[in-house]
Homo-oligomer: A and B are copies of this chain.
Amino acid sequence: MISVGVLGATGAVGQRFVELLADHPWFDLTLLTASDRSAGKKYGSVVDWRLESALPEKARDILISPTTVDTIRKVDLVFSALPSEIAGDLELSCAQAGVGVCSNASANRMRPEVPLVVPEVNPDHLGLIDVQRDKGVNGFVVTNPNCSTIMMTMSLAPLRKFSYSSIQVATMQAISGAGFNGVAAMAIYDNVIPYIGQEEEKMELETLKIMGSLEGGEVKNALVDVSASCHRVPVIDGHTMALWLNIKEDPERVREAFRAFNPPISGLPTQPTSSVYLHDADNRPQPRLDRMRGRGMTVSVGRIRKGLRYVAMGHNTIRGAAGASILNAELIVSRKYL
């Protein structure tokens, strides 16, 4: 068992990490960090647990540590659900101190030597860990993309063999993506908010790195133009998106590609049976009915039409955040980087 911790364990994503790690077969959850005023108290007495599953017994009595390198170095690997403004330096310092960091924060995603990985899409980008090691870092920082970017790139993975140069994507994103207190009920009830700060920029930029190729210790960005329009809708969990790709092939060829998709990973505990699941019904995927497929790790696609148009959907705080980081960590272990 590898001893692991969660940085920022009391927030929306932090709670998902705790939920998913409580019974993990490879990782032993022993460290939980939060703000200084919670340090020293039992996690169960401090956290305002908001998930439908019960607070795991294992986590209840863990004493919260402050979010400092000194306390973090006691474990082998940490999952970061820190706010971006403090994640940047701290994650790098942890790596310097020999700790592996799998981060959901955006701060370090675009650093050249930091892999931005979706296991089913670009597992080879973990090769950048060697670049970090060459610079004398004993640990590492590996990041996963923004939640919407994950759903989109997952849905693109089976389409590698088709040629296209542009992607247009309109998202309908869940309120949990903004954290427990990020969206006021008066703001989103009976409403759509056609703007999510920095979300379009992240989708347009991160996608190029993820879809890019690792050559000579550097990622060469993919040559595709991504144009995103991001919207918040009154849904609790599950980001839905409508996509257009300038693929000329018949939609049936695309359906076949989705059905035939064989991801380049295997044997990872958090990996779902189907990484990408193609729905045949006209009115699917739907967030409430399909977000928990594959314990929240499957990305659903459907409505493949000429255009080429389709709809993709996945659970934003599992597949799009905590589960993404954990799957990255499992890939790292399986590839012997830890």
Contacts and interface: CB of A to CB of B under 8 A. Distances in A.
The complex is assembled from copies of this chain, and their number is: 4
B194 A283 contact: yes
A100 B56 CA distance: 39
A283 B242 CA distance: 20
A303 interface: yes
Contacts of A170: 170, 229, 242
Interface stretch (A47-55, A135-143, A209-217): A47-55
B168 A244 contact: yes
Contact of A185 (B54, B185, B227): B185
Contacts of A244: 168, 227, 229, 244
Interface of A: 12, 50, 52-54, 168, 170, 172, 175-176, 179-195, 227, 229, 231, 233-236, 238, 240, 242, 244, 282-289, 291-293, 302-303, 307, 309, 311, 313
A303 B228 CA distance: 12
B240 A194 contact: yes
A192 B239 CA distance: 9
Given A186-B183, A242-B194, A287-B190, A292 B53 contact: yes
B233 A192 contact: yes
Contact of A181 (B186, B195, B235, B282): B186
A185 B234 contact: yes
A189 B185 CA distance: 8
Contacts of A234: 185, 189-190, 233-235
Which 9 pairs of residues, A with B, have the shortest CB-CB distance?
A: A170-B170, A229-B242, A191-B288, A170-B242, A195-B283, A194-B311, A185-B185, A183-B185, A234-B234
A293 B55 CA distance: 11
A323 to B, nearest CB: 16
Contacts of A286: 191-194
